[in-house]
Amino acid sequence: MPGRPHLFVPGPTNVPDRVLRAMHRAQEDHRSSAFPELTQGLLRDLQPVFGSTRGRPFIFASTGTGMWEAALTNTLAPGDRVLAVRFGQFSHLFIDTAERLGFKVDVIDLEWGEAVDPARIAEALAADGAHAIKAVLLVHNETATGVTNDVADVREAIDSVGHPALLLVDGVSSIGSLAFRFDDWGVDVAICGSQKGFMMPAGLGMLCVSPKAMALVEHGRFPRAYFDLRPQVVHNDQGYFPYTPPLAHLFGLREALDMVAEQGMPAIVARHARLAEGVRRAVAAWELKLCARDPESRSNTVTAIVVPEGKDARQVIDHAYRRWDMALGSGLGRLNGKVFRIGHLGDLNAGMLLGALALTELALHDAGIAVPYGAGVAAAQRWYHESA
């Protein structure tokens, strides 16, 4: 089909032309005396995106999934017990990773669409008088349901019962798009990837590790090889990597971080909030429901929309893709066929989202969901005009 296809999944996101140009370059010697300038600049400039001055950033050729493993294996010992909340597909997969690595996971199960209740975490930790639980696993922004959790409240819950557990936070669909305050929230390890708020192709996994967690890394007893942070520390301190790094991705990250610095994280956070509200107003005008139940926890990076009973969200997605050249996010796990998702993060603006909403209305009609033509677009238009 002529023209540019429309990508509105919640990752990978649209890659700006600036980043693409930065990645399109000849390969270089990653052992040269000039290379440390790139490495050390990237690690330095990642800190403010994480919201940290004390945490130590790491970069891997990997994804957020790999960073789950890196976070767990570098800070915990074989057979350690952890506490996690399952409230969507990615929190489920974080738990699955921990279990497959042999950790004992105490799971708090919630309905998918609910936000984490910090009081339940405090209750579980208060019952652990022996402090056998070594870490709390939390997904900040559950991409499958469009729910954002309050990390600060979870840390307060941990501290309120005097428990020493680490706080390991998946920020894959939040860091770089939503406010993230690593230091202020008392996060011990934050996890993210390149393909969402960092506006890049998938391929980089990134961590930020607190001094408390770093103290555990050196003497950790879990078997590690590629994801071992210890050789990373040695080589990063000299401006290099312990393996051949993905050069094109590193140059892309350099450009992406420059773009983030030019906009400033407060402006980026405000832009995502404004764009997301327009999508939510469009959904209300369509008289459809959101998967995220609590208005206070609705995500500013992705909206999961529930189709009416008897309809199949997969048809909406397929019509959008095949007839209207637009990619929408699918329902994952137990939400398959029940929801479709509009990703609104990274490099985008109101005009792009208005186009996505117009095409979504057409795909909804194709799938037999007769929303009023133009209703969602008009509702979003009004909001974007009023809030400009």
pLDDT digits (tens, 9 = 90+) for 180-202: 999 999 999 999 999 999 999 99
Q: Do residues 189 and 130 share a domain?
A: yes
- How much of the chain exceeds pLDDT 70, in percent? 100
Q: Do residues 83 and 228 share a domain?
A: yes
Averaged pLDDT of the chain: 98
Its sign, for the CA torsion 232, 234, 236, 239, is negative
Q: Is residue 68 part of a domain?
A: yes
DSSP characters over 362-380: HHHHHTT--PPTTHHHHHH
Contacts of 13 (CB under 8 A, 6+ apart): 7, 195, 196, 197, 199, 343, 345, 346, 347, 348
Q: Is residue 1 part of a domain?
A: no
pLDDT digits (tens, 9 = 90+) for 322-358: 999 999 999 999 999 999 999 999 999 999 999 999 9
Q: Do residues 135 and 282 share a domain?
A: no
The pLDDT score that the predictor gives to residue 2 is: 86
Q: Is residue 205 part of a domain?
A: yes
CA neighbor of 188 nearest in space, from 165, 172, 205: 165
d(CA 29, CA 338): 49
Q: Is residue 165 part of a domain?
A: yes
User: What CATH number did the domain enclosing 148 receive?
Assistant: 3.40.640.10
Q: Do residues 256 and 286 share a domain?
A: no
pLDDT digits (tens, 9 = 90+) for 129-165: 999 999 999 999 999 999 999 999 999 999 999 999 9
Q: How far is CA 78 from the centre of its chain?
A: 27
User: What CATH number did the domain enclosing 352 receive?
Assistant: 3.90.1150.10
Is the peptide bond preceding residue 12 cis, with omega within 30 degrees of 0?
Answer: yes
Q: Do residues 143 and 49 share a domain?
A: yes
DSSP, collapsed to helix, strand or coil, labels residue 222 as coil
* pTM, entire model: 0.97
Q: Do residues 165 and 275 share a domain?
A: no
Q: Do residues 108 and 204 share a domain?
A: yes
Domain boundary among 244, 262, 280: 262
Q: Is residue 44 part of a domain?
A: yes
Number of structural domains in the chain:
2
Q: Write out the residue range of the structural domain in which residue 40 sits.
A: 17-262
d(CA 64, CA 139): 12
pLDDT at 97 exceeding the cut of 80: yes
Rounded alpha-carbon distances, angstroms, from residue 186 to 42, 183, 277, 296, 372: 23, 5, 29, 22, 46
- How much of the chain exceeds pLDDT 90, in percent? 99
DSSP, collapsed to helix, strand or coil, labels residue 341 as strand
pLDDT at 96 exceeding the cut of 70: yes
Q: Do residues 184 and 54 share a domain?
A: yes
Q: Is residue 191 part of a domain?
A: yes
Q: Do residues 250 and 293 share a domain?
A: no
Q: Is residue 32 part of a domain?
A: yes
Domain boundary among 233, 262, 291: 262
Strands 166-170 and 133-139: parallel
Q: Do residues 270 and 254 share a domain?
A: no
Q: Is residue 320 part of a domain?
A: yes
Q: Do residues 205 and 311 share a domain?
A: no
pLDDT digits (tens, 9 = 90+) for 254-299: 999 999 999 999 999 999 999 999 999 999 999 999 999 999 999 9
**Residue 52 and residue 208 in contact, taking contact as beta carbons nearer than 8 Å:** yes
Q: Do residues 273 and 258 share a domain?
A: no
Domain boundary among 262, 291, 309: 262
Write out the two tokens for 346: 């990274």
Per-residue confidence band for 375, with pLDDT thresholds at 50, 70 and 90: very high
The pLDDT score that the predictor gives to residue 254 is: 98
The pLDDT score that the predictor gives to residue 182 is: 98
**Residue 113 and residue 292 in contact, taking contact as beta carbons nearer than 8 Å:** yes
The pLDDT score that the predictor gives to residue 1 is: 65
Per-residue confidence band for 302, with pLDDT thresholds at 50, 70 and 90: very high
